[in-house]
Structure 1
Amino acid sequence: MDIADQKPAPRPRKELTYIEKVWHTVAIVALLVVVILIARVAFNVLLMVLAATLISTYFHGLGNIIQRKTGWSRKVAMSISVGGSFAIVGVLLWFIGARLQMQVAQLSHTLPSTISAAREKLSETPIGQQVLTYFDDNSGKIFITAQHFFSTSFGVLGNIYIIVFLALFFTASPSVYKNGFMILIPEKKKELWQCIMNRVNVSLKGWLKGMLLSMVLIFVMLTIGLTIMGIPAVLVLALFAGMLKIIPNFGSLVAMIPGVLLALTVSTNTAVIVALIYIVSQTIVSNIVTPIIQNKIINLPPALTIISQVIMGTLSGALGIILAVPLLAITVILADELYVKKINVVKRDVNAENVPLTD
């Protein structure tokens, strides 16, 4: 055998000592922890970008309406859209701010006694005693869960500050960010991703239209109904319910609790009527008004919506719960365009090849 054909003998592998194995394991675990923490922070940042995109979509949608109705230039219409929205919010806070502050103080003053009265009424029935026992035994867990759900990575005010400024930047120059994203897409995939972005845009606009109208209708209906029933702090309760309408399923239940508790201080029958007012108003808005407005949004299964809210709430707190539905809609669109349609095309081609030829 030629010496050149001989293969060099493999080097013996160096056996790691026990201490070296321990340090390697610690390094791998530490690296995984760092990656998970970075991914979680990056996910929260992506959620803030999505929230800013929704606000920018609202500004552009309102600007489109102003431009279409008046025939003014795009710059003027967008200036009125952004400036007018902030002006309306400021005027509303100015006019109802003092009354709202008074009702908040009244609600905070009466709520402890209201809870005590509710506990007394519940303790009079066997079912009520079981409910009180359950809440007493799990009060710590409920508090920790609520604290975790309503916490965010940068703080509420910090998140709002970042989201508003991102929304203003997206509104001022949307093409810069859109074109910058399209540059990263390969030339063969540009048409596909343009279709995806158009579908996402239509879906988010439909969600925004339905959500804004639903919040206003809930506020108006509850204001009228609770005023007729003589419930105190009507503006606070109606505004609270309208704002929580942005959280499907869970928001309606949470909004109903303080109203029913206050109604219990009057009588049990009043509490039942107030609960019916909440249920009827939420039912009308959720099952009649919202589907008509959101006719272009994806029909998401209710169970899938609840699952996404629980997952997003656990990962990102209140912001995750609020954005769970639009994020789920975007995910469904991506799955449909990138996977489902391709599978259908392949099946159609296979079926076409298997069709027998006829004379």
Structure 2
Amino acid sequence: MRDDDLIAFTRKALALLFIVALAALVVELSYLLILVFASVVVAVVLRSLAGHFVRLRLGNGASVGLAVLSLLAIFAGLGWMFGGLVSGQFVELGRQLPQAVDAAQAYLDHWHIDYNLSEMAKVAREQLSSIFQRASGFVISVGGVVADVAVVFVGGIFFAADPAFYRGGVLRLLPRSVESLMADALDDCGRGLQLWLKGQMVSSLFIAALTLAGLLLLDVPSAYALAILAGAFDFIPYLGPVLAAIPGVLVGFSASPTTGLWTIGLFVLVQQIQGHVVQPMVQKSSVDLPPVVLLFTVIATGTLFGPPGVLLAAPMTIVGYILVQHLYIGAMLGRRPKRPAGPREPT
């Protein structure tokens, strides 16, 4: 073997070992990476709020500080206005769900449907408990979920205060030949996340309001708590509407079979509006993701990272999709990549 061939082989072997070691490191630090990514999402939220203060000719630091105070004030105001009502309804919802399962099982037995709903609920609780225990090993070691939320929020503040500093640090780790390409990709990732968050907030508020109106019209107990769950679960693609419907339908059946059936119809209607009207509008204003990509990403991130991965599936898909567009479609294939809120590539 010639010296040139030996050198080339050695470089390829070292590159392969580096990739394997990097993959192993990513798996080992997966939960930490999820926290970092969650901090980036929080930073995008804060930068969006800070943009309104920047237009008032305030400095970057002051704008981010006011954005943090505004976000805290919004949560505090909502808690002050609706905290007692909503917390009481969540407590009542927790008390009603076991009774709702028993009531729904009685209806199934009356209709001669051979299905053990109580056993299914028990298995679901055990599986969810197992998932949370596996995913929370790191959380417990540093003091609980509250500590992780604090870390994510503080990290988001640091990222939002000086995003150019961290962006420049990432670019300095790359060869100069790809620095410009990666800079465009990072800029599009930030823009895509910002547009998605704005659209998703509108979508969640719309779904919560529509669900609340329907539940109040049907006189379903704990309507406010169920509507908040529907709005929150709207952040989870595909699985969210199903997860939100389960407690609502059970509580509906605990009132009466007619109410339960109407509740099923309500959640089906809301899901159809969300899937065929609201979600396409959100994607059109941010990144037009293929539905199958988003579906399998939810499954993959849930398998790899547990519940936090499911919650962050949509923004992770957006970032991954944009990077593929720039680094593979654009750089390697030489085609025009799709960009956030941009025109479709002609075929």
TM tier, smaller: 0.7 to 0.9
Larger radius of gyration: 1
- Measured at CA, do residues 67 and 293 of structure 1 come closer, stay the same or move farther in structure 2, by a change above 3 Å? farther
Match of 1:43 in 2: 30
Structure 1 residue 59: Cα displacement: 1.0
The aligned counterpart of 2:96 is 110
Quote the residue 1:339 is aligned against: 328
What CA distance in whole angstroms lies between the structure 1 residues aligned with 2:246 and 2:122? 19
Among candidates 146, 150, 153, match of residue 128 of structure 2: 146
Q: Determine the structure 2 residue equivalent to 1:264.
A: 253
Report the AA paired with residue 340 of structure 1: I
Cα distance in 2, alignment partners of residues 159 and 237 from structure 1? 26
User: Structure 1 CA distance, aligned partners of 2:43 and 2:321?
Assistant: 22
Q: Displacement, 1:149? A: 3.6
Give the superposition deviation at 1:117.
Answer: 0.7
Separation in structure 2 between the aligned mates of residue 143 and residue 101 of structure 1, nearest angstrom: 22
**1:281 and 1:61, CA in 2 relative to 1: closer, same or farther beyond 3 A?**
same
What residue in structure 1 maps to residue 11 of structure 2? none
Question: Which residue of 22, 40, 45 maps to 1:58?
Answer: 45
Partner of 2:6: none
Which residue matches 1:132? 116
Residue 38 of structure 1 deviates from its aligned partner by 5.0
The 1-side partners of 2:276 and 2:191 are apart by 21
How many residue pairs get aligned? The number is 308
In the alignment, what sits opposite 1:214? 203
Q: 1:296 to 1:196 in 2, by over 3 A?
A: farther
Amino acid at match of 2:63: A
Which of 265, 286, 291 in structure 2 is aligned with 1:302? 291
Q: Partner of 1:185: helix, strand, or coil? A: coil
What displacement does 1:121 show? 0.4
Which of these residues, 241, 246, 267, is aligned with residue 252 of structure 1? Answer: 241
Provide, for residues 83-116 of structure 1, a one-character-per-residue CA deviation record: whole Å limited to 9, x for no partner. 1111110111122121122212222222222111
SS in 1 for 2:255: coil
Of 297-306 and 157-166, deviating more is: 297-306
Change (3 A) 1:308 1:145: farther
- Please say if residues 226 and 248 of structure 2, whose CA atoms lie closer than 8 Å, have aligned partners that are also in contact: yes
How big is the shift at 1:71? 4.9
**Which of 208, 211, 226 does residue 215 from structure 2 map onto?**
226
Report how far residue 145 of structure 1 moved.
Answer: 3.0
CA distance in structure 2 between the partners assigned to 1:273 and 1:149 by the alignment:
32
One-letter code of the match for 2:136?
A: T
Q: Do the aligned residues in 1 keep the contact of 2:220 with 2:259 (CA within 8 Å)?
A: no
Counterpart CA distance in 2 for 1:202 and 1:227 is 38
1:182, CA displacement in angstroms? 1.5
Work out the CA distance in 2 between the residues paired with 1:91 and 1:60. 21
- In structure 2, the residue corresponding to 1:315 is in which secondary structure? helix
- Cα gap change, 1:41 to 1:160, in 2 (>3 Å): farther
Report the Cα offset of residue 147 of structure 1: 2.4
Structure 1 residue ranges without an equivalent (≥5): 1-33, 347-359
How far 1:52 moved relative to its partner? 0.8
Q: How does 1:271-282 map to 2 (within 5 A)?
A: 271-282=260-271
Code of the residue aligned with 1:152 in structure 2: it is S
Where 1:248 maps in the other structure, the secondary structure is coil
Which residue of the partner structure matches residue 158 of structure 1? Answer: 147
* One-letter identity of the residue aligned with 1:268: P
| The one of 73, 83, 92 aligned to 1:97 | 83
* Unaligned segments of structure 2, at least 5 residues: 1-20, 140-144, 336-347
Instruction: Say yes or no: does 1:119 pair with 2:105.
Output: yes
> Aligned residue for 1:354?
none
Residue of structure 2 equivalent to 1:26: none
The two structures have a TM-score, normalised by structure 1, of: 0.78
Query: RMSD across aligned C-alpha pairs, in angstroms?
Result: 2.5
Q: Distance in 1 between matches of 2:283 and 2:194?
A: 9
**CA–CA distance in structure 2, aligned partners of residues 198 and 36 of structure 1:** 25
Q: Could you tell me how far apart the structure 1 residues matched to 2:33 and 2:321 are? A: 17
Following superposition, the deviation at residue 54 of structure 1 comes to 0.9
